[in-house]
Every structure is written in C-alpha cells, then in structure tokens.
Amino acid sequence: WCKCFREGRGRVENEPHDRWPRTSITEPNIDRADALIRENRHIAIKELGAMLSISVGSAEDIVKYHLHYRKVNARWVPHTLTDVNKMVRMQAASRLLQQFEDEGDAFLKSMVTTDETWVHYFIPESQQSSRDWRHTSSPKPKRARRSRSAGKLMATLFWDWQGVIHVDFLTDARTVNAAYYSNLLATDMKEKIRSKRKTGGKQVAFLQDNARPHTAKTTMETLRKLKLNLLAHPPLKFRFGPN
C-alpha cells in the first residue's frame, strides 16, 4: 500500500480485478448452515465448514454476519420438573400453607430443619469486607491475593426459628451417608429435640430435603422412634440448562 501511494495511487478502495469471485457464501450454503445449526446447537465452526466443503473463514462469516448467530454459555437453572413433580410440589406447598393458616406462628416455631455444606479450613477475606476508610492523600492499602484452602470437611447443621441448634463436622473429607445421619439424629439431636419439645409444649415439625441419606430406611425408622412430625419436602431436580 505504501509503495502504491508513493507511485501516485489516491484511492483506498479495491481496484476492479479479474480474480475468481467469492462463491462460498451462497444462498444454498447459508440455508444448509442454518439447518445444520438448528439440528445441532453445539456444532463448531470447523465442523460446519467441513460439512459444507467451505473454508473456516467463510463458515464463520455465514454464521455471524448472514445468520446472525452467537454462541452463549449455559447457566444453572433452579429446577426442571415433570408434570408429576410439579403436582407433588403444589400438594406439599398447599399442605404447609394450610398448616400455617391453622396454627399460625406456633407452627413456624415448632419447625427444625437441616442441611449440609462444605467448610474450608481457610476462606480469605473478601475484597468488599477488606475495604476501610482513608483520606485521598493516604497510601492505598495492599493485600496479597489468597485462595481457599484445599482442605475441607462436611458440616451438618440443624436450626430453628431462633438460630442454629447443632452443628456436626465430618472428618477426613467424608460425605454424609444414611448410617452417619441416622446416628446423628439418634444421639446428638435426640436431646436437642427433647428440650425443644419441653420448651414449646408441642410436637416438633421436622423438615429435610429428599437426599438419599435423609430418605433411607434406617433414617425413616429413627425419625419414627423420635416421634417427629416429618413435613413433606417438595421434590427438586437440578440440571445444567440454557438461559
């Protein structure tokens, strides 16, 4: 380009030429590319070019500038349920709502629920919590970047309307199984439930999710021995899905 302008060229547009015209981007190729993408949304540009017998660049131009497709990442959606799951969820929610309407706050105060979570040995301070007040002339504070520790263990928590009533930690990075969970209910939680029953003066309503350790035969037998009012938990079904 520099040589051409030094020799007197004054236009930046391409001059007419007698080279072969670009024939890869045609209506049939555009229509076929659209059909292939609709058939397989995960198809790669390289695969598309090979199936259309055109270059990768031409395939990319067809997808981006003629069909106006763009690749988007999938994200977690709360749950995808079948019609039966939806019906069960509605029935469980209706029973809980009816029980609250009948008993009011006494029903909420009688509830005990549980869940499990991984706890890291070390969790660094967040950037938001490390902010402090300084004058504009003060030097900017420095903080080394640190990540969570690799070591972790499973914590099982039980809580009611007043807060956490019991926490149990599993060592050696083990996870919760039916034997552990059933034994935890029959030992550590038995006394806590008994004292809550004495304080509240009514049967304790117990809410847990539908994880396998919670619905195992040994767990259900333990819950019957403790004479807990087991509340129905709506089914959950997680998957990795599109926006």
- Whether residue 241 is predicted with pLDDT greater than 80 in this model: the reply is no
Question: pLDDT digits over 177-206, tens only?
Answer: 899 999 999 988 888 888 877 776 678 889
Question: pLDDT digits over 25-43, tens only?
Answer: 899 999 999 999 999 988 9
Please name every residue paired with 189 in a beta bridge, in sequence order, or none if there are none.
Answer: none
**Residue 242 pLDDT class (50, 70, 90 cuts):** very low
What is the CB neighbour count within 10 angstroms for residue 108?
Answer: 13
Segment 159-163 mean pLDDT? 90
CB within 8 Å of 63: residues ≥ 6 apart? 33, 37, 45, 48, 69
**Edge-first strand listing for the sheet containing 205-207:** 163-170, 152-160, 111-120, 205-207, 229-230
Are the beta carbons of 109 and 103 closer than 8 angstroms?
A: no
Q: Which of 203, 195, 200 is nearest to 227 (CA)?
A: 203
Rounded Cα gap, residues 11 and 210, in angstroms: 73
**Residue 124 pLDDT class (50, 70, 90 cuts):** low
Question: For residue 85, what pLDDT is reported?
Answer: 80
Rounded Cα gap, residues 203 and 201, in angstroms: 7
> By mean pLDDT, which of 47-51, 84-88, 103-107, 156-160 is the weakest?
84-88
Residue-range domain boundaries for the chain: 19-66, 83-120+149-230
Are the beta carbons of 157 and 167 closer than 8 angstroms?
A: yes
Residue scoring higher pLDDT (13 or 167): 167
Q: Which of the four CATH numbers 3.30.365.10, 3.50.50.60, 3.30.420.10, 3.30.56.10 does domain 83-120+149-230 have?
A: 3.30.420.10
Reported pTM:
0.54
